[in-house]
Structure 1
Amino acid sequence: MEALAPELGWPGYRVRPVQRWRGPTAENIDDCVAEEAPIVLMYNGEPHVVMLATPLDLEDFALGFSLTEGIISRCSEVESVRVYERAEGIEVRLKVPPARCEAIGDKGRNLTGRTGCGLCGARTLEQAIKKPPPVRSTVTVKADEMIRALRQLRDRQRLNSLTGAVHAAAWVVPGQGLLQLREDVGRHNALDKLIGALSRQRVDFPAGYVVVTSRASFEMVQKCAMVGVGLMAAISAPTGLAIKLAEEAGLTLVGFARDDSHVVYSHPQRLFHG
């Protein structure tokens, strides 16, 4: 893959003057506000989808989205990634094999995706509810290590510590702790960024697991299963559809993972207690 473009001038946050009230008292202060921008992903010169995202780590985002959407099957299929700043937003141009580009038209995007939307642009139920291949991961996770990783996740969210407005997804390997983290205003975008970063590093996805700061939605489970991640732990609740997919795909799904408590919804054999 061709060398990636350097980070552009779009910041992850901006400092803005605000008026803050505490009871009857007001003060004028500077506040850090998270940025989001329209990001268009283009394949071989053709626009595929526009997503609202934090304008950081966009090469990772493009690669992760391409993998979790099934546009490519491995990172090496992307010949180049170019990022261009426009007046209205940002273009990310990917060059992929022509056969991959021809198949994109059947994947039902070509619409705008909102910040919190993982299925925007799908035209049929089959396109929206994609079934990932079975998860073959044999990773084993100690519950106390998982809880420590979740504490690390909270402490290492630098953008969220400034703005209080972004989600994070992180990669954890048993015995090594939290190794990689990405943040974004959209939970799906944060996970795509993480998967893209890991794919560039040729990480063995079945060897670790993912922790996220959001709820465990269907799309989050789907993205993890698409690359072979065996366990996902979320600090909030899962949806019924997410649990169903996790059961069918063979993924261990953990929700309400906070402090010293958590709930295991599917395939508990990968998580060990005591």
Structure 2
Amino acid sequence: MTLIYKDYSGPLPSPLPDEVAVSLSYNGISHAVMVASDNDLEDFALGFTLSEGLVSHSDHIYSISSTQTDLGFVLEIKIAQRDFQNLKKRRRNLQGRSGCGLCGHESLESTFSPLALLPGSALPPGENLQGIRQRIRDWQPLGADSGALHAAALLNQTGDIILCREDIGRHNALDKLLGAAIKQSVDLSSSCIVMTSRCSIELVRKAVRCRLGTLVTLAAPSSLSVATARTHHLNLIHISRQGEARLYSKGA
């Protein structure tokens, strides 16, 4: 059978996902430039700041402002002085080290820095995850248009989706959802987040830093993410395409 090209070199028949540069600056000092989708950027800044351990508590984030430039977006985050001093110390300690090439971290030490153990949370009832693949698609308006965005969804105690965020990057989608949940004072320790992506080490570490009880992914986890989840008492579940709930780590 001969492959026939479908010509998309002219006007696009459907929207492609947005991808923009987003610079995060803390107390006037640039810290990181991420590539993300351009929606829910305030949620992203809040979630990123907490899930990366840049502040010790959400109350230490005083303000977030966003400015669009020709090159992308600049997010200005004002944080408590003690956290800012720790951030500057961390940056000084990383200077001169060679990069290990893992997710933007500059060393193995910074990638695998110790995390506080979770207290352990009860597993969500199995019926809460019934039909979750279809249900999460219903909460993906941007993904439905482009077919290329990850989603992170927050389930309540009865299994209903109450919040969802999308992004071209799976870790960005999680940061956005964490930020939105924290703004609404959600108790993450007893909450369940479902992600459309595979489960990688950075997702588990972000979940642990934000004291999440249960992380569910729709693609298989890596061996390192499973080991990290088990060490830190995070419930980690994979929902297979066949609808099987595979429990890899049980927190309680």
Aligned to 1:17: none
Task: Find the aligned partners of 1:175 and 1:106 in 2 and give their Cα distance.
Answer: 44
* Structure 1 contact 167–214 (Cα < 8 Å) conserved: yes
Aligned to 1:11: none
SS in structure 2 at match of 1:92? strand
2:234 maps to amino acid: L
Structure 1 stretch displaced more, 70-79 or 242-251: 70-79
Q: Output one character per residue of 1:201-251: Cα deviation in whole Å (capped at 9) or x when no partner.
A: 111001211100000000111111111112111111111110110010001
* Structure 2 contact 127–159 (Cα < 8 Å) conserved: no
Aligned to 2:98: none
* Structure 2 contact 150–196 (Cα < 8 Å) conserved: yes
Find out whether 1:124 has 2:107 as its counterpart.
yes
Find out whether 1:215 has 2:198 as its counterpart.
yes
Q: CA deviation at 1:30?
A: 2.5
Find out whether 1:262 has 2:245 as its counterpart.
yes
The alignment of Structure 1 onto Structure 2 pairs a total of residues equal to: 241
Find out whether 1:95 has 2:95 as its counterpart.
no
SS in structure 2 at match of 1:216? coil
Aligned to 2:59: 76
Q: CA deviation at 1:199?
A: 0.7
Find out whether 1:205 has 2:188 as its counterpart.
yes
Are the structure 2 counterparts of residues 138 and 26 from structure 1 closer, same or farther at C-alpha, using a change threshold of 3 Å?
closer
Find out whether 1:182 has 2:165 as its counterpart.
yes
Question: Which structure has more strand as a fraction of its residues?
Answer: 1
Q: Output one character per residue of 1:9-56: Cα deviation in whole Å (capped at 9) or x when no partner.
A: xxxxxxxxxxxxx94776976221111100000000000000000011
Match of 1:192 among 168, 175, 178: 175
Match of 1:155 among 134, 138, 141: 138
Find out whether 1:53 has 2:19 as its counterpart.
no
* Structure 1 contact 118–219 (Cα < 8 Å) conserved: no
Task: Find the aligned partners of 2:209 and 2:116 in 1 and give their Cα distance.
Answer: 7
Q: Output one character per residue of 1:145-179: Cα deviation in whole Å (capped at 9) or x when no partner.
A: 11334431122111000000110011112215111
Task: Find the aligned partners of 1:104 and 1:219 in 2 and give their Cα distance.
Answer: 19
Find out whether 1:135 has 2:118 as its counterpart.
yes
* Structure 2 contact 123–250 (Cα < 8 Å) conserved: no
Find out whether 1:40 has 2:15 as its counterpart.
no
RMSD of aligned C-alpha atoms? 2.2
Are the structure 2 counterparts of residues 142 and 99 from structure 1 closer, same or farther at C-alpha, using a change threshold of 3 Å?
same
The normalised TM-score by structure 2 is 0.88
Aligned to 1:170: 153
Which stretches in structure 2 are left out of the alignment for 5+ residues? 96-100
SS in structure 1 at match of 2:25? strand
Are the structure 2 counterparts of residues 216 and 98 from structure 1 closer, same or farther at C-alpha, using a change threshold of 3 Å?
same
Aligned to 1:18: none
Q: Output one character per residue of 1:50-71: Cα deviation in whole Å (capped at 9) or x when no partner.
A: 0000011011000100001111
* Structure 1 contact 183–190 (Cα < 8 Å) conserved: yes
Q: Percent identity?
A: 30
After the TM superposition, which residues 19-38 of structure 1 pair with which residues of structure 2 at under 5 Å, given as runs?
A: 23=4, 30-38=13-21
1:31 maps to amino acid: S
Match of 1:245 among 220, 225, 228: 228
2:54 maps to amino acid: I
* Structure 1 contact 36–52 (Cα < 8 Å) conserved: yes
Task: Find the aligned partners of 1:59 and 1:25 in 2 and give their Cα distance.
Answer: 38
Are the structure 2 counterparts of residues 42 and 145 from structure 1 closer, same or farther at C-alpha, using a change threshold of 3 Å?
same
